[in-house]
Amino acid sequence: MILSSGAQSIINRDPEIKKMVDEISKEKIEQDVRKLVSFHTRHNMSLQNDPSQGIGAAWNWIKSEFEKNIEASDGRLEVKFEEYSVGGKGQRIPHQVKLKNVIATLKGTNPDDDRIIVISAHLDSRATLDNDSTGYAPGANDDGSGVAAILELVRIMSTRKFSSTIVFMAVSGEEHGLYGAKFMATKAKQENLNIIAMINNDMIGNSGSSETLINDNTRVRVFSEGVPAFETEQMTAMRKFTSGENDSKAREFARYIKETGERYVEQINVTLVFRNDRFGRGGDHTPFCQEGFTAVRICEYNENYDRTHKIPAVVNGIQEGDLPEYVDYEYVRKNAGINLATIANLALAPYEPVNCGIITGRLTNKTTLRWESPLKGVKPTGYYILMRETIQPSWEKKIFVQGNEATVPYSKDNYFFGIQSVDALGHESISVFPGQARRQDAPTN
């Protein structure tokens, strides 16, 4: 955590999560990025049947790397391909092609827990031309860095037990239209899967900017949507009623990543960006948002446009191309740590409280919040009431309470509130933004 104010903060860490974060190896990450680069190109129209070149060699290798962890997981880790067809006349992929995503599922140990947490990166790469399927497209940072982080997380987390199920994805098709992620999001919706959170890691290893020449590996961005891409009429009405446009589920999750990531990883400032993605651009979390899931993107703070989507060459004395020597592996390690801490904390946490509301029965300068205990999973030891001034981006106060109602001497007009479940070891659920508790529920005293 970067301390910028005079305020003290107490950090309680779960020693098991800390240990896992400390096991992340930047040497292993570098090895894996270099291996991914060795396939020459991972273009979506590149070779699928060559043992050492092209996208097929890449997905086969990732699958075999995932599979190495099955034994250590006592069989809880399941690894498979998910295959889908894309392309056709007039499309960016002009002929039909079958692509594969590589999916590793670490089954939760609590049979009552149907929650799923998804972490994703894309395995495909591209260089200057959209349709160049044979030129060198190393994709070391985009998105070798994300895939290498996921390989590390599978390696470390498969040896541990979590209540919830964790799905690790290396998807294809991103560079030509987010196809692999779209396929997974649509399928998840059709199967009615209880995905409570999805993190897309796309470009998490470049720490220096082009043009502005900033070098900084202590900041990383988390992009989250404000007004959700998917909203029912009821959700829209409640958002307007509560002025909740800065408290979408994705945004609460982004705040959760900031708090949890900075709790476990040193020298990193998780910077919340209040937009779904970079200006006019998208990523693999977007199809999940569109299907109504809670999904965000983790991305480096500074991008280098001499390297992204460029065929490696020296141009005007500048080495262009997304080469492995330009990835900051210490930075990838930290960003992988943020992912690990977030997923582990969430996969061990109680379910969120339900029917969370602010009681509006009478005019008062205090705020009374009411909620119900989750019906599934471990029983929470208590709840945190979170609060912040309406102009603040992140939560400012966190008050531990027990029971199913709390009154705090702060006006609901001047603050936003959130409610989290928490267990005895301090694992919190994502915070829930309360709606309005019905008048007839108001206490009569």
Task: Judge whether 395 and 386 are in contact, CB under 8 Å.
Answer: yes
Q: How many residues bind Zn ion (CB under 5 A)?
A: 3
Q: Which stretch binds Zn ion (CB under 5 A): 33-41, 51-59, 96-104, 141-149?
A: 141-149
Least distance to Zn ion from the beta carbon of 122, Å? Answer: 6
Least distance to Zn ion from the beta carbon of 173, Å? Answer: 11
Angle at 341 between CA 337 and CA 344, to 5 degrees: 135
Q: Is 303 in the site for Zn ion (CB under 5 A)?
A: no
Among 422, 411, 401, 429, CA closest to 358: 411
Q: Given the complex with Zn ion, which of 181 and 341 has the nearer CB atom?
A: 181
Segment 70-129, which members bind Zn ion (CB under 5 A)? Answer: none
Please give the Cα distance from 307 to 121 (Å, whole number): 19
Q: Given the complex with Zn ion, which of 108 and 144 has the nearer CB atom?
A: 144
Q: How would you class 386 by CB atoms within 10 Å of its CB: exposed for 0-12, middle for 13-18, buried for 19 or more? A: buried
Q: Given the complex with Zn ion, which of 142 and 277 has the nearer CB atom?
A: 142
Least distance to Zn ion from the beta carbon of 25, Å? Answer: 23
Please give the Cα distance from 102 to 167 (Å, whole number): 10
Least distance to Zn ion from the beta carbon of 398, Å? Answer: 35
Q: Given the complex with Zn ion, which of 143 and 303 has the nearer CB atom?
A: 143
Q: Which stretch binds Zn ion (CB under 5 A): 62-70, 126-134, 199-207, 387-395?
A: 199-207
Q: Is 142 in the site for Zn ion (CB under 5 A)?
A: yes
Please give the Cα distance from 237 to 243 (Å, whole number): 10
Three-state SS for 262-301 is HHHCCCCEEEEECCCCCCCCCCCCHHHHHCCCCEEEEEEC
Least distance to Zn ion from the beta carbon of 101, Å? Answer: 15
Q: Given the complex with Zn ion, which of 100 and 255 has the nearer CB atom?
A: 100
Q: Is 143 in the site for Zn ion (CB under 5 A)?
A: yes
Q: Which stretch binds Zn ion (CB under 5 A): 69-77, 201-209, 222-230, 288-296?
A: 201-209
Least distance to Zn ion from the beta carbon of 419, Å? Answer: 35
Least distance to Zn ion from the beta carbon of 297, Å? Answer: 10
The only residue of 30, 32, 202, 247 in contact with Zn ion, by rule CB under 5 A: 202
> Which residues form the interface with Zn ion (CB under 5 A)?
142-143, 202
